[in-house]
Each structure stands twice: as C-alpha cells, then as structure tokens.
C-alpha cells in the first residue's frame, strides 16, 4: 500500500488532533534512509531541523508549525 498517500493523510489527521489539544509545534522523526516517511512529514509542512546519530542510525528531526495550519 505504498505511495498511495495514506501516511501523509494519517499525519495530517494526527496534526489536526494535536492542534485541538492546543499544540502549536510538533516534532516528528524518522530514519534518514526512510525516504517515504520523510516525504510524508515534509508534505505536512515538516522542516528538517537536524540529523542525530542514535544507536548507530541517523535520525532526522522535523518540526511542524501548527500555528498557521488550516483546519481541513
């Protein structure tokens, strides 16, 4: 079921719930080699902050600003 937009939509719905809870910023992470997850995060406004080494894996840290997201 890859490349059908399901992950992007799941993140969008989760971000709606985060906004309902009053969050204005959300941190999402994924392995650097997980290109699909990175794209899904970026499609929802994720901005790469940095990459960290954790247990031998490179982890990408993305911030999503909810303060200007519409309620779709």
Q: What confidence score (pLDDT) does residue 23 get?
A: 97
DSSP letters for 19-53:
HHTT-SEEEEEEETT-HHHHHHHHHTT-EEEEEEE
CATH of residue 21: 3.40.630.30
pLDDT for residue 2: 79
Structural domains in the chain (count): 1
Domain contains 17:
yes
Q: In the prediction, which pLDDT does 3 show?
A: 84
Span 15-49, pLDDT tens digits? 999 999 999 999 999 999 999 999 999 999 999 99
Does some domain include residue 71?
Answer: no
């Amino acid at each position: 079921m890859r490349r059908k937009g399901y992950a992007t939509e799941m993140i969008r719905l989760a971000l709606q719930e985060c906004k309902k809870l009053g969050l204005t910023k959300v941190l999402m992470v994924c392995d650097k080699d997980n290109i699909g997850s990175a794209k899904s995060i970026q499609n929802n406004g994720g901005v790469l902050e940095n990459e960290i080494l954790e247990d031998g894996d490179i982890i990408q840290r993305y911030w999503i600003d909810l303060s200007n997201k519409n309620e779709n």
